[in-house]
Amino acid sequence: MDAMMTSVAAGPDGLVAVGSVWNSDQDRYVAAVWTLDDGSSWERVRHDDSVFGSPAKGRNMWSVTVGGPGFVAVGADKLGTGKGSVAAVWTSTDGTEWQQVPHSNVFGRPDDDVTMRAVTAGGPGLVAVGHTKDSAAVWTSEDGRNWTRAEHQDSAFEPPGHASTRTVWSGRISIERLCVGKRCAASDVRRHDQCGACRGQRGRRGG
């Protein structure tokens, strides 16, 4: 069983890391949390299918931060639909006992394939970033339990009618763009700016 840690946060009693564990029998990940309170050994939080996902209903945790009731983690929930994912949020007061925030429309639909990739303290309390299958997405929350999705802005998140996707990944905008009939190899904004074909396209659009 393979596991990956993707984010860590420092709380008053130690470190909390989140990630996912691969279930090869069902070909899915389930969310996972580890804690470190003695400075030397990590301990995985006891798994609960209803919170972290079951082999039939995969979930991923991508990021964790101190905030809300104590800790807030974000990721994706497959909902057992066999389609895409919806965004998912978990909260904990101490890093060891977790609850998943109930799904609502603000987290998207499986057909939209929505994921929250990163969360941090800021704005009204918390800001999370992620993506749908078509564009970047931003959410805000005062308490980690009640979330609002920012209104989509074409100029910021996805120019309409242009063959590109913009994905907010861990607070960085990653751009893939079709350039002169071939996909641009740039993986982030700085490298993308070094692509002459892309600069030419932006110049013609006035961007």
The boundaries of the domain holding residue 206 are 171-207
* Span 14-42, pLDDT tens digits: 999 999 998 776 667 899 999 998 778 89
3-state SS of 49-102? HHHHCECCECEEEEEEEEECCEEEEEEEECCCCCCCCEEEEEEECCCCCEEECC
Q: Determine which of 13-22, 49-58, 114-123 has the lowest per-residue pLDDT on average.
A: 49-58
Is the pLDDT score of 124 beyond 70? yes
Residues 73 and 153 in one domain: yes
**C-alpha closest to that of 156 among 181, 173, 139:** 173
Structure tokens at 104: 């609502």
Q: Is 204 within the bounds of a domain?
A: yes
Q: Are residues 85 and 105 in the same domain?
A: yes
For residue 34, is it within any domain? yes
The residue type found at 140 is: T
Given this model, what pLDDT does residue 123 score? 82
Structural domain total, the chain? 2
Domain membership of residue 165 (yes or no) is no
The strand order across the sheet containing 164-169 reads 164-169, 172-179, 182-183
